[in-house]
Amino acid sequence: MKIFLTGPDGLLGSNVARELISAGHSVKAFLLPGISAPTLEGLDLEKAEGDLLDENFNLARAMAGCDAVIHCAAITDLWADPKLTWKVNLEGTRRILDGSLAAKIKRLIFVGSASSYQPGTLEKPGNETGGFPAVYHGEAYMESKYQASELARKYVRERGLDAVIVTPTFMIGPYDSRPSGGEMVRQFLEKGMRVSTRGGRNFAYVRDVAGAMVNALDRGKTGESYILGGENLSYLEFFGRIAKIAGRKAPNILLPDPLVLLAGSASSLVQRITGKKMVFNRRIARYSLLSTFYSSAKAEKELGLKHSPIDLALEESIGALRKYGHLNLDQTGFFKDKAVLITGGSRGVGFATARELSLRGAKVVISARGAKRLLDSRDRLERMGAEVAAVAGDVGKWEDAEKMVNAALEKFGRLDILINNAGVSMRGNFSELAPEVIEQVSRTNLIGCLYPTRAAINHIIKNQGHIVFISSIAGLFGLPGASVYCATKKALTGLAESMRLELIPKGVHIGVVYLGFTEHDPEKRIIAADNQLVPPDRPAHHTQAFAADLIVGMLQKRTRQLIMTPIGTLGWLIYRLSPAMVEKAILWAQSSQWAVFKRFS
């Protein structure tokens, strides 16, 4: 079919256009005159220009030759001029309805809003049978979309128009160029909010919404309405998801309702006195306390609405914010266009560091042995707007180390930073260790730093760049049950000190990071004495994101060493004065206070 699509350059329209083309339909995109529409670049579609509000513009003629209309165009901004909102959302819809009849359009998909229906609770979410919520009376966007939906139903009943009404919830995802739903994501990331209100809403992945709308062309029932939603989340949960995805601190304070309303009232007062439009006012404060939860069961059954993880939508939203210039997390520009190679970059601290550097503008190569997890990690970074390459290989093999370095040169033309993060942990007394354990730990933790460093060294020197070795507090003083691990990590200190003397005159920064026991991924395993893989047995001293943030700071400051845990710093200082004292403390903790040893080792 040939589809006449209004609002094709918005968040929803841009995704609908792609879903239509993917499904084999041809698209005629109806745009305001002179608009640039960056989200439509590269798409195989026809463009037509016009203004919905221009009474002299013949919409029926513009629709000629089309089989169906999808009407996405609307003003969704709650801060827009109410008169313009009513004019576009209601009168613009009337013109689309009249044009569709005159052009003998076979089917119209009208995009309303889920806010037209009474929301519910998590246990009993709202659906298409609920009436218009009283709380939204007088709100231009919500009420105009409700009235436009009622108008579409009237045309179905009285004038025989074949129309289906879809009502999305709060949409997030790619191609958000203004931004729309991504504005909440942007504000959280840039302002680092640590507080939240008690409200919540239904968050939908815009690609899922667009797919259901395309399905509605064939499967939707004339005159029926369908809520197109996703996951019901409190705002505390929603911002927590963003924090986890982007490696930020999650909000941990729930503001009392009276305080939220008081802040909104104060903001509204300032707005009345100064005439300055305030983003947060009493009206928005009231809405932030609502829990607008909905069910999309009807659309799932009749339109095949999918429910992709909202985390996927958030990753692509971050990517869109960066692509269209709305998100900049590194005002200094220090990492912009720098090329970084991170070994062991598919998970843990390696992935967290790759994510943080890419969010700050660096171009990243990640390497790991496991190809599937590596590619999954690459895809996650790409969805967040990163320029990234992934190289599967073993850092303990010279040819693989060369391949990793060459990947950076081939894709980015340079290499500025090498972070030697790949490593394996072990547990077991030295007298019980299988030879295979000694070989694997030594090859990965030591040779696996030597080879990539040697392969990269001349390129790092050329750019006066950085080489960082990710060590452990086990590299500061020995720990029982980790002999070979300690040996390899201590060796990195000697390597760094020697290289630093060689490379300081050439402007190269050499740093060593002494991690404590870090938050681990669920699938992480360590090597036992018998060469079996077992789960980690120590509590976390810090999160992966915290470690990554400090590593990034180390690069900016060109710091020589970074000891991440207070107990590690204390132990290092005491060890320099009296190694025997540290040894006695460790033996005491291990023998008489095992819980203490596990907590701090």
DSSP labels, 395-444 = TTSHHHHHHHHHHHHHHHS---EEEE-----B-S-GGG--HHHHHHHHII
Alpha helices in 448-565 (DSSP H): 448-462, 483-503, 544-557
Question: Cβ distance 448 to 343 under 8 Å?
Answer: yes
Residues 284 and 25: their CA atoms lie apart, in Å, by: 40
Residue with structure tokens 């040939």? 2
Q: Are 166 and 215 in contact (CB under 8 A)?
A: no
Nearest Cα residue to 247 out of 299, 314, 189, 309? 189
Spell out the residues 6+ positions from residue 332 whose beta carbon is closer than 8 angstroms to its own.
556
**Catalytic option among 155, 205, 485, 514:** 485
Residue type, 361: G
Q: Are 386 and 411 in contact (CB under 8 A)?
A: no
Name the 3-class secondary structure at 293.
strand
Mapping DSSP to helix (H, G, I), strand (E, B) and coil, where does residue 365 land? strand
The residue type at 160: G
CA distances from 410 to 361, 365, 404, 407, 542 (A): 19, 11, 10, 5, 35
Whether 226 is catalytic: no
> Among all residues, which ones are annotated catalytic?
485
